Amino acid sequence: MRKNFGAQTWICPMPVLILGTYDEKGVPDAMNAAWGGTWDYNKIFVSLSEHKTSKNLREKKAFTIAFADSKHVVEADYVGIVSANQVPDKVKKAGLKVEKSTFVDAPIFVDFPLSLECEVESFEDGNLIGKIINVSADSSVLGSDGKVDVEKLDLITYDPIHFNYIKLGDIAGKAFSDGKRLK
């Protein structure tokens, strides 16, 4: 038996994305946004309402996306519930370490081990599409093959049903492989 809930935006898992921008004075800003994902092969999509980050995106035409991990749940949540319009130094208050991207005019939050460095391709009606210029990862999350080991990222996901952050778990199968057993 199934229970109906009506129209809900319960996409699971939902990434916990930390958008990084600089304001007009070069002050780093971070914003937690769960409504995003892959747009195309080298593009990302994020849905935003009007924020300080929105103004920064229009001005700088660049941003970073960091993926929140379980070690930094408090910091990730903080930058989502506090506005840079009210707390201009919220990145500093959150204790996040920042370095400037060498590829785009946006901050990298080094506490989060994986970042996408992006240029704004379009930003209309709250729909941000960014072109990924570079992906940078801390060496601590690289596997023996030299690539990012997703298990080492210790990623969290947002539960839009109960408003929780959930730590992602174990490998359940092999993509583009396991289904071949049914051929």
Q: Enumerate the domain spans of the chain.
A: 14-182
Three-point CA angle 104, 58, 105, nearest 5°: 15
| Poorest-pLDDT segment among 3-17, 90-104, 108-122 | 3-17
The better pLDDT of the pair 13, 66 is held by: 66
What pLDDT is recorded for position 25?
93
Residue 164 has pLDDT above 90, yes or no: yes
Peptide bond into 13 cis (omega under 30): yes
Q: What angle do CA 47, 6, 163 make, to 5 degrees?
A: 55
pLDDT > 90? residue 17: yes
Position 85 confidence tier, pLDDT thresholds 50, 70, 90? confident
Q: Nearest 5 degrees, angle CA 55-CA 97-CA 80?
A: 45
The sheet with strand 164-167 has its strands ordered as 14-15, 156-159, 164-167
Domain covering 14-182 assigned CATH 1.10.10.10 in the classification = no
Distance CA 23, CA 74 (A): 23
129: Cα within 13 Å, side-chain hemisphere: 9
What pLDDT sits at residue 27? 95
pLDDT at 30: 96
The pLDDT, as a whole number, for residue 166 is 94
